[in-house]
């Protein structure tokens, strides 16, 4: 019997996750929103005072990102956000500066360029950050007044 055994529920290979990782992942899977470490900790503690401490939340996020189950998103405000992704995948966002809404882009522009960048600059890409800020349709309408 594999250690994953009869984990069953949702995501594969979840059996080998620590308690903290499981709790953090559960929150992210429910909210389906970009959440900061402190957001996650707050949600956990609100539901149950015995929930993992903030330190464990940070450590769990680090693990989950390393495993490719979660990606961290840097919006440049000094507070990292996290969200579940398809294992090993990543994507980028349109962030509305009016209402905070975020659109999850389905296609990564940068991966397409890896070969041409390698050819042109000799660089082998290992990662990248790309986030786009602006105003969503709704906020554009409101500001027309």
Partner DNA sequence: CTTATAATGAAAACGATTTCCATTTGAATC
Partner DNA sequence: GATTCAAATGGAAATCGTTTTCATTATAAG
Rounded-to-integer distance, Cα 62 and Cα 23, Å? 14
Which stretch, 57-65, 85-93, 96-104, 106-114, contacts DNA (CB under 7 A)? 57-65
Whose Cβ is closer to DNA: residue 21's or residue 136's?
Answer: 21
Sort 133 into a burial class: Cβ within 10 Å, 0-12 / 13-18 / 19+. exposed
Residue 73 in tokens: 């998103």
20 binds, among DNA, its own copies, Mn ion, none (CB under 5 to 8 A by kind): DNA
Cα 49 to the center of its chain, rounded Å: 25
Residue by residue, DSSP assigns 27-69 as HHHHH-S-EEHHHHHHHHHHH-TTSPPHHHHHHHHHHHHHHTS
108 binds, among its own copies, Zn ion, Mn ion, none (CB under 5 to 8 A by kind): Zn ion
Does position 109 bind its own copies by CB under 8 A?
Answer: yes
Question: Residue from 104, 115, 128, 141 that binds Mn ion (CB under 5 A)?
Answer: 104
Tell me which residues in 91-110 interact with Zn ion (CB under 5 A). 108, 110
Whose Cβ is closer to DNA: residue 29's or residue 62's?
Answer: 62
Helical (H) or strand (E) element with 104: strand 102-104
Does position 59 bind DNA by CB under 7 A?
Answer: yes
51 binds, among DNA, Mn ion, Zn ion, none (CB under 5 to 8 A by kind): DNA
Under DSSP, the state recorded for 78 is: S
* CA distances from residue 1 to 6, 16, 144 in whole angstroms, order as listed: 9, 13, 62
Q: Which residues bind DNA (CB under 7 A)?
A: 18-21, 36-38, 50-56, 58-60, 62, 78-80
Q: Which residues bind its own copies (CB under 8 A)?
A: 74, 76, 78, 94, 96-97, 103, 109-110, 113, 117, 121-137, 140
């Amino acid at each position: 019997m594999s250690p994953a055994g009869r984990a069953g529920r949702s995501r594969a290979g979840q059996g080998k996750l620590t308690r903290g990782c499981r709790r953090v992942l559960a929150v992210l899977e429910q909210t389906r929103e970009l959440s900061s470490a402190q957001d996650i900790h707050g949600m956990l503690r609100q539901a149950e005072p015995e929930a993992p401490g903030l330190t464990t939340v940070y450590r769990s996020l680090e693990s989950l990102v390393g495993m490719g189950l979660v990606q961290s998103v840097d919006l440049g405000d000094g507070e990292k956000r996290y969200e579940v992704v398809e294992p090993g995948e990543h994507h980028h966002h349109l962030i509305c500066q009016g209402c905070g809404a975020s659109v999850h882009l389905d296609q990564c522009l940068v991966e397409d360029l890896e070969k041409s960048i390698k050819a042109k600059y000799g660089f082998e890409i290992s990662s990248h950050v790309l986030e786009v800020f602006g105003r969503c349709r709704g906020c554009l309408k409101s500001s027309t007044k």
